[in-house]
Structures are given as structure tokens and as C-alpha cells.
Structure 1
Amino acid sequence: MGVSDVIIYDTTLRDGEQTPGVNLNAKEKLEIAKQLKNLNVDIIEAGFPIASNGDFEAVKLIANEVKGVGVSALARASRADIDRAYEALKGAERPRIHVFIATSDIHLKYKLKMSREEALNKAVEMVAYAKSKLQDVQFSAEDATRSDWDYLAKVYESVIDAGATTINIPDTVGYTTPGEFAQLIDYLKTHVKNIDKVAISVHCHNDLGLAVANSLTAALNGVRQIEVTINGLGERAGNAALEEVVMALNTRKDYYKRNVNINTQQIYRTSRLVSTLTGISVQPNKAIVGANAFAHEAGIHQHGVLSERSTYEIMTPESIGLSHSSIVLGKHSGRHAFEARLKELGYNLDPEAINKAFERFKDLADKKKTVLDQDIEAIVENKSISVPEIYQLEFVQISSGSNITPTATVGIKRENEVVQAAECGDGPVDAVFKAIEKAVGQEVELEDYFLKSVTGGKDALGEVTVKISKNGKVFLGHGLSIDVIEASARAFVNAINRMMVELPGDKSDGGRD
């Protein structure tokens, strides 16, 4: 890595998972971590091990199985937190403990109930303790951008002396502005006498819509590391989006003069996977990865793009992995053509996974004349959201119309028994959900229901995401079918299966940055 390179520290699995309503299991976190490795991020912040047993196991799984990338775990300035992080990280090739404590007066007074001196001493003590466990220790001064600059400089200087190898400047509440942030970075560079011994990092939140702008300002001012999430996920308004930071640095390398080691052709694939597994859809006008990012509707724009793409496109769809193949897939397409298309789309599946995906492709091709790239992505990624199938949907039938009460009958299989149930509802989907609840003997609250078309056309696949809750815990489910009622039923059963096997961890953040 050259001196002008920017380290991309991805915190999708830690800060990103703090997005309200998101609850990833260990298998899903591992799948995202493997894709982040394909994306070639430098460091994966895999979680906050002390938060729950589930978080601990996920960090441990990623540390043990994802090699060739740094793996970081968060810890408060506490021996118990650091011990837990160290235990989870033992199997990593390049482990890092990320220690944090708040430094702003508002956090010290109302949250930590500490004096400045107490917080400083605690930071130094715990960085030194983490250093006794691992060589690579990152320190974050939570709410740095609302902290007193003199005190902040003193804290950073002290933790560097204690062994920190990276110091992070978090804009925890998205409060700063690009000009002010540049001044703070410059101030720290000139007032922290040992700052040349460490890498400087930034972690920007998006409360004022400035996370990417602030991160890019930091890059312009020489910071070594930028912390990001896929699709800008995170608490409240989220974090700086990896895809936007990376493509800005790449597209405007003439201005920023900084390099990143990201494989940009894996950006779209990564965005799609994270969106599917978290249940958080990407808005159509989202920069880089939104459905409209490379769409041109205005006549003058269309004419320009057809004449010369650079008239209205500053980057190509191919640069983020949106390839446009001339191969049309249908029911007569063979396994070889299908496997080649998977590789073009950025999928590297094992033979068994390819076989299963091909079976689903052939089933879909029997119902659709042409199977598009988006269809292939949907059938591959929807299957990745797998939980043990305690319950399986055998069939669903509905009777509905403008002048009759919607009625649904379902068959739900558990082990070797199929239970049938019928219910009425306010609409066909409501009736189906009530019938499923009756068949499985579970009552749940439907928190959210989202239906989208994977492609255009009358034969488009319907992709349904549901969120259900029970006893205050939320569970996500997905379903896919040309029949949107069937897709809804499959999503509901998938969510119930998840509920039956998962106990989501306590996601209280303890004041994370």
C-alpha cells in the first residue's frame, strides 16, 4: 500500500447493523464479510463482541474464516470489553481492537458522568491494556467534533504514547461541516506532537447529509483511513457510503490525488447483497447504486449519451459491476451459459450452490420468456437468506374480489405433517398471513411489508420483504415469486422460521460512535 492510498475501513457489520430494524445472524454476517473481501476493503469491523453472544460468535466466525483482510472489533474503554474483543479476534490474520471513549463535555457530563481527567486516564489505561493483547489498536474519541480541541489533542497524544496505532476522529452526531472538519484535522496535525507515529482515521455520520463530503474533505487533508458502510447504513441517518466515497476518489483522482484498493466492479454486487440481507432497500435516486443512477430520461440527455456516453455519464455502469451482456437467457439455456452469466455478475459460487441456483433459474425460465440479470441476482440472493426450514409452504390458495371477503387457505409442512388452515382477512395478503399464523400456532405483529418488482413487465418477479415482531423482537423474512401472493406467503413463513431459531442480541450501543 502506497503512502497516497486511503485505507477503507468498512463498518457495515458493526455500525451498519445498528440501523433500526436490521438484525443479521452470524451466517449472513459471514456472507457479507466474504463479499467485502471480494470488494477488497482493507479492514472489516466485524462487530461489538461484548454486546451479545451472537455478536461475539459472528466476529469470531469472520476472524476464523475470512483471511487476507484486517478484522476489527469494537470495545468500550473497559477491560471486560477488550477481553471479549480479543477472544473473538484470536483467529484473525490481521486483528485490530478498536477502543473508544467519549470526549465531548456533553457526553462526559450526561452519559459517562466523568471529568475530563478521568476520561483521559481511562483512555490511556485501556489503550495500554488493549496493546498488551494485540499490536494493532485503534482509538476513537467519541463525539470528537463537539469536543474541546485542546483537550482532544491532549487525549490523542496520550493514547498514542500508550500504544495506539490509529486514532479515529468521529463526527458521531453528524454535526461538523467540511470547512470546520478540515480545520480540526489541521489543528490536530499541528498540536499532537506524536501524530506522525499513527494513521489518522475519520468516521462521519450523515445527520446533516454531509458524511461523504466530510470524509472526502478528510481525504483531501491527508487522513490515512476513512470509515464507511455499504449503502450508507448506520444509526439515524447513517454513515458515509462506501460506494460514494470510493467512486468520488476514483472518478476525481485528478483532484483528490488519492488511491483506494477497492475492486469497484464488486460495488453493485455488494450493495445488492447488503440490501437483500438487511431488508433496507436502496432508494432509486441513490448515488452510484440506485436504480436511476445510470438512467437517462430527458430527450437531450438521451441524445447526448447515445452520441457520446461521457456527455452525461462521468463513470460507466460497468465500473461498478453493472455489465450488459448480449447473451439472452431463457428456458433453453444450458448450465454453462448460466454459470458464465453468474461469473459476469460477480458471483463466485461453489458447484452445489450453482446447481441449486440453476434449478431455480430453470423453474423461473418455464414461467418467463426471458430471464434478466436482475432476475438472476434475485434468485441467487434470495436463497442466501436461508434459515432452517422448520415450516415449509406447501400451497396457498385465495378467494378474493371487490365484492367478496378475501379468504385464504394454506398448507404448511412441518417434518412429515402438512397442516391446512383457512382464514379471512381485510385483503388477500392479510388473509394469507392469518392462515399461516393459524397453521403454525403462532401470533405475531406485522411491523412492515414491502413489495417490489425485480424487473419490468407483466411476468416480473415479485420480491417481498416482511418484518414481524414478537415480545419486542423483530425478525426479517423474504419471498420471491412471479405470483406476489405466493411471494408474500413465502416471506411470512421465512420470517417465522427465523423467529423460531434466532434470538437477536441486545443491540444497546453503550454509546458507540
Structure 2
Amino acid sequence: MTRIQPKPTQSATSMPVHRYRAFEPVVVPDRTWPDQRIVKAPRWLSTDLRDGNQALIDPMTPSRKMRMFELLVSLGYKEIEVGFPSASQTDFDFVRQLIEGGHVPDDVTISVLTQAREDLISRTAESLVGAQRATIHMYNATAELFRRVVFNIDESQCIAMATRGTELVMRYAERHLGDVEFGYQYSPEIFTQTPTDFAVEVCNAVADVWQPGPEREIIFNLPATVERSTPNTYADQIEYFCRHVRNREHVAVSLHPHNDRGTAVAAAELGQMAGADRVEGCLFGHGERTGNVDLVTLALNLYTQGVDPELDFHDIDHVRRTVEYCTGLPVHPRHPYAGDLVYTAFSGSHQDAIKKGLEHLEREAAAVGRKVSEIEWEAPYLPIDPHDVGRTYEAVIRVNSQSGKGGIAYLMKTEARMDLPRRLQMEFSRVVQAHTDSRGGEVSPKEIVDLFATEYLGEGQWGLTHAGSSSTNGEFHVRATVNEPSGQDVVIEGEGNGPVSAFVDALAEIGARVRVLDYSEHALDSGGDAQAVAYVECEIGQGDEAQVLWGVGVDGSITSASMKAILSALNRSQRS
């Protein structure tokens, strides 16, 4: 009787886990966000030029900043945080360059960050003179740890700092920005580590100063500057805030998740379900420490659910190259939607499923007289059509020692237009497996095609010099000139119920024992002068010494291609 293994027993770690305590969640027993769906894109703000740039070892030069800004505009971002002008002369100069150079489209709002100090707020407002649309984003620390350890202030002092800062923003905006379509954003920093009821109290006090109303919204940005909890806890905090903040209809609730626990994307998505209107982040998740939430992943997650992200990532490789150039940091090969390997299958079972899925889509499209790009996408292991983001199917399947017949057959079909019969797929996959096992690493599509040509189409001891056939009353007669292993050309003749059987009969006259087990053929191209390929499964020899091998032949004549395929099998039998 088979012994059933016991459950594995894990050991306690020697790491000092006692030094950490669980995050205290907000209590929302009647939460509604789990039942919501995201059916519309949020308002997006890119902070690549501020949060993303400040986290680089070598911050972007002005020319690279401009390249990034132009990319963001081309992708469709309407709100772009362009710097921290009161903290850096370089940032101040870049904001001025954008405005004075006329680089900001009329429908794009630029945003700048400031702390809640008068000199910094004044300098920030000065940087925006002449802008058409601009937002000042002010923050102060509200988290208990920061109030206690860093600033040594209590809750009332914290509220006073936020309201006083808001008054100063309004004063200096009035002084410097009278012709600007002006907006205001406030962040209780760090929102997720601030008691949620106190975050609401601070924001309500700020709103009392700003007086939001029709055509006068306020943005409350709720940062998870350091991600400390599971995404559902962040969603609870957002739902609680949305329920309790006053003038909700005139408040844009904004999310600013970081990725310290690796769940920023999930936190942003659940936060939207909890009622948020807006998301701040960076392309490919750049930003402090582990980065801000990845705006590319968020947008294309929406896209794969049939929701228009209102951003254009039709050429993901161009976006990736530009961001890599601007930041000096590579995008990981496994990065969702954009990495080199994300649409690639090495596993044999995955390759086979993808191959069949793509063929199914082609049949479905043909049945309704449409292109694959015009019908609903559904394919194993591919949540998005690579073509939709500018990728090609050629890179979908790649071959290494773990690959199977499906992937190899797919590459032969796409690279060489050869639709291999199933048993030939199995046979050739063993040839490829032996090659990868001996050499190691990946085999390129060209190497696969070359390996196939060497194995099945290369010159051997048997060759076809000339062939002709005729038929009388359904009986076929073949006359062919064959180069045999001795090196001599011999003329052979045979008869059968078709050219293939007649050729086999002719070979028997010179001692070549062949029995055809399976046969298929197709054209390699369209048109009258197209080449044809024939695949023939043959039993070579007799009795215990018989071998079953495939042969492949290519010729302008399907009859000659079939004969070449039989000789291909004979040649392979002599090499094996």
C-alpha cells in the first residue's frame, strides 16, 4: 500500500520578528467596495518628473526631462506633476522652460509640489507665472510617528499648519497667478499611517479654508507613501474617508500608493473600487525606494477588462525605450505588459496551448469574415493581444530545453510556413530537444528552421535527379532518375494507384524497402509558381530492423516533392 507523506512542518525563523507589530486597520464593518467594479478610467496624474525623478541616482537632465514630458503628453496624460520648484533651482528653471517655451498644451494641467512654509509657497507660485492651467500641491505631515518623532507637534498644531498653508497658497496664487486656471491639492502625509478620522478632520479643516464648490474642486491626495498594509486595508481607509469628508461632490479623492510591500497596483485598484477618483504614479513604477504605483500596469489592466484607459500604449516598446533613456534604469524583462519576456512561452504545454489558441482565433475570425484584430480576444496564457501594444507574435514562442512540440511547430509555421503533421511535430521536437540538451540555452527561430532543413531537407546519399509520371485508367506509372548511395544515377520505374505508391514500387526494384504510413502536403505560397511541401511518414526496412521516420520534400511539383520526401526518410534512416 502506498504511504501518504505527512504535511511538511515549517520551522520558526531566527529573525527578530517580535520587533514588528501588525498594522492597525480602520473599522468599516459595512464596507461596500468589495462589491464594486471599475468601469471607467480614473483621472491620471504622472509624477515621473517629480517623485520619479527625485529617486534617480542621476536625476534627469533638462533635455531628458523635456523628452519625458513630451512622452507623457503623447500618451494622453492631462495632469503632470513637473517638479518641486521651491526645493531646487533646476526644477524651478524646468517649470519656467515649460511655460515660457510654450511646451504645455492647452488641455494639460501642470502640478508642482510644496511644503507648508510661506517662503516655499511663495517661490512655488512664482514658478507658475504665465501658465494656462496649474495646480499647487501642498502637504504636511499628519502621521502620528512623524508628528511625534520628526516635528514634535500635536494634532491641533498639525491642523493649524495645514490651514495656514492653504491660506498662503490662496494668497500667493491671488498675487502671482491671476490669469492662471488655478487648482489646489492637499496631501495629509502619510495618510495610511495617520488615524483615518484625524485625516478626515485635517482635510475638512483645509476645505473650510478653500471653500470647494461648483467649478472650484479641491483635490485630497491620500498617500501610502510607505506601504504598510494589505491592499484591502487601504481600500477600507479610502472608503471611510470618502464617506466622512465633507462636500464630497466637490472633492477629488486621489490615490498615491507606493510599492514597499509589492501590492501598489492592487491597492490602487481596490482604492478606486472604494470611491477614489484619481491616481498618481509613475511609468513602470519608478519612484522612491520600491517605487510609486505603475501607471502602465494600471492602465493596461483596465484595457484587458474592456475599459478604455484613456491613455495610449499602442507602442509599448517606444514607451519603454524612452523611459529607459530618460531614467537610465532598465525595465525588467518580466515587467507586466512591457518586459521582453512577458508575451513569451518557453514551456512546451504553454506553447501548445498558445498555438492552438491563435489558430482558433484565426478560424473564428474567418468564420465571420473579419480580421483577428476585429474580434474579441481570448487566448491561453495571453491576457492581451501583443499586437495591441505593438508587439508581434514572432516573439511569443521561444524554444529552450523545456519546450515542446507545440511551440516548435508554431515557429515552423510562422517562420517557414510549414504546417507540420502532429507525429512529425513529435519527431522533430526530439531532434530539437537533443540539440538544446547538448548546447544549452535558447534556440532562436532561425536556428530552429536551419535545424529542420539540416535534418529533413539536407543532401544525403539518396537524391532525385528527374521524375515523371503518367496515368492510364487510374493506374499510375512513374519513371525517375535517382542518385543512389553508390553515387550512381539509376533510372527506376514503378506502378501503383498513385504517384507515391508507384515511386515506392520503383524503389523496391533497387532494394529500397519503403512503406508509406502517412502523407500530407500543402503549398508554401500562393500563386501559380508556388513551391509545395510534402510530409511522408515511412517505414524503412523490414522486420525487427524496420524504422519509422518522417521525410520532407520541397519542389515546384507536388509529385516531385512527395518523391523527395520519401528519399529524405531514406537518408535519415542511413544516418540514424
Any conservation in 2 of the 1:8–1:260 contact (CA below 8 Å)? no
1:280 Cα deviation after fit: 0.7
Any conservation in 2 of the 1:8–1:41 contact (CA below 8 Å)? yes
In the alignment, what sits opposite 1:152? 199
The structure-2 alpha-carbon separation of the partners of 1:6 and 1:59, relative to structure 1 and needing over 3 Å to count, comes to same
* 2:58 paired residue among 22, 29, 33: 22
**Deviations 1:487-510, CA, capped at 9 Å, x for gaps:** xxxxxxxxxxxxxxxxxxxxxxxx
Alignment of 1:219-368 (within 5 A): 219-253=272-306, 259-309=308-358, 310-322=379-391
Moved over 6 A (4+): 455-458
Q: Does 1:119 align with 2:155?
A: no
Separation in 1 of the partners of 2:159 and 2:49?
29
Any conservation in 2 of the 1:142–1:172 contact (CA below 8 Å)? yes
Instruction: State the SS of the aligned residue for 1:264.
Output: coil
Alignment of 1:369-384 (within 5 A): none
**Deviations 1:113-150, CA, capped at 9 Å, x for gaps:** 22211121111121232234163001011111011122
Any conservation in 2 of the 1:25–1:54 contact (CA below 8 Å)? no
Structure 1, unmatched stretches of 5+, are: 326-454, 459-513
Instruction: State the SS of the aligned residue for 2:45.
Output: strand
One-letter amino acid of the structure 1 residue matched with residue 122 of structure 2: D
1:211 Cα deviation after fit: 0.8
* 1:101 paired residue among 140, 143, 152: 140
Any conservation in 2 of the 1:128–1:162 contact (CA below 8 Å)? yes
Q: Does 1:7 align with 2:43?
A: yes
1:83 Cα deviation after fit: 2.0
Any conservation in 2 of the 1:46–1:71 contact (CA below 8 Å)? yes
Alignment of 1:482-497 (within 5 A): none
The structure-2 alpha-carbon separation of the partners of 1:25 and 1:456, relative to structure 1 and needing over 3 Å to count, comes to farther
Instruction: State the SS of the aligned residue for 2:222.
Output: strand
Q: Does 1:77 align with 2:126?
A: no
One-letter amino acid of the structure 2 residue matched with residue 201 of structure 1: S
In the alignment, what sits opposite 2:17? none
The structure-2 alpha-carbon separation of the partners of 1:114 and 1:148, relative to structure 1 and needing over 3 Å to count, comes to same
The structure-2 alpha-carbon separation of the partners of 1:173 and 1:106, relative to structure 1 and needing over 3 Å to count, comes to same
One-letter amino acid of the structure 1 residue matched with residue 205 of structure 2: S
The structure-2 alpha-carbon separation of the partners of 1:305 and 1:142, relative to structure 1 and needing over 3 Å to count, comes to same
1:323 Cα deviation after fit: 5.6
Q: TM-score, normalised by structure 1?
A: 0.60
Any conservation in 2 of the 1:201–1:225 contact (CA below 8 Å)? yes
1:251 Cα deviation after fit: 1.3
**Deviations 1:435-485, CA, capped at 9 Å, x for gaps:** xxxxxxxxxxxxxxxxxxxx9999xxxxxxxxxxxxxxxxxxxxxxxxxxx
Separation in 2 of the partners of 1:37 and 1:98?
20
1:165 Cα deviation after fit: 1.1
In the alignment, what sits opposite 1:128? 167
Any conservation in 2 of the 1:7–1:260 contact (CA below 8 Å)? no
Separation in 2 of the partners of 1:114 and 1:271?
44
Any conservation in 2 of the 1:34–1:66 contact (CA below 8 Å)? no
Any conservation in 1 of the 2:43–2:277 contact (CA below 8 Å)? yes
Q: Does 1:53 align with 2:100?
A: no
One-letter amino acid of the structure 2 residue matched with residue 222 of structure 1: G
Instruction: State the SS of the aligned residue for 1:13.
Output: helix
Q: Does 1:188 align with 2:188?
A: no
1:155 Cα deviation after fit: 0.6
**Deviations 1:275-305, CA, capped at 9 Å, x for gaps:** 1221111111111111111111112222222
Separation in 1 of the partners of 2:63 and 2:392?
28
Structure 2, unmatched stretches of 5+, are: 1-38, 211-216, 359-378, 395-443, 448-576
The structure-2 alpha-carbon separation of the partners of 1:281 and 1:197, relative to structure 1 and needing over 3 Å to count, comes to same
**Deviations 1:81-111, CA, capped at 9 Å, x for gaps:** 2222222223433211110111011111222
1:317 Cα deviation after fit: 2.1
Greater relative contact order (Cα < 8 A, sep 6+): 1
Separation in 1 of the partners of 2:446 and 2:260?
38
Q: TM-score, normalised by structure 2?
A: 0.53
Separation in 2 of the partners of 1:176 and 1:196?
28
Any conservation in 1 of the 2:257–2:292 contact (CA below 8 Å)? yes
In the alignment, what sits opposite 2:20? none
Any conservation in 1 of the 2:67–2:326 contact (CA below 8 Å)? no
Separation in 1 of the partners of 2:445 and 2:81?
37
Instruction: State the SS of the aligned residue for 1:14.
Output: helix
In the alignment, what sits opposite 1:379? none
Separation in 1 of the partners of 2:136 and 2:391?
36
Separation in 1 of the partners of 2:315 and 2:46?
14
Separation in 1 of the partners of 2:220 and 2:347?
47
Instruction: State the SS of the aligned residue for 1:45.
Output: strand
Any conservation in 1 of the 2:45–2:279 contact (CA below 8 Å)? yes
Q: State the Cα RMSD in Å.
A: 2.5
Separation in 1 of the partners of 2:445 and 2:63?
32
1:220 Cα deviation after fit: 1.6
* 2:208 paired residue among 150, 157, 161: 161
One-letter amino acid of the structure 2 residue matched with residue 223 of structure 1: A
Separation in 1 of the partners of 2:49 and 2:256?
15
Separation in 2 of the partners of 1:170 and 1:212?
14
Any conservation in 1 of the 2:112–2:136 contact (CA below 8 Å)? yes
The structure-2 alpha-carbon separation of the partners of 1:160 and 1:260, relative to structure 1 and needing over 3 Å to count, comes to farther
The structure-2 alpha-carbon separation of the partners of 1:234 and 1:316, relative to structure 1 and needing over 3 Å to count, comes to same
Any conservation in 2 of the 1:39–1:267 contact (CA below 8 Å)? no
The structure-2 alpha-carbon separation of the partners of 1:86 and 1:270, relative to structure 1 and needing over 3 Å to count, comes to farther
Instruction: State the SS of the aligned residue for 1:65.
Output: coil
Separation in 2 of the partners of 1:323 and 1:91?
45
Any conservation in 2 of the 1:26–1:61 contact (CA below 8 Å)? no
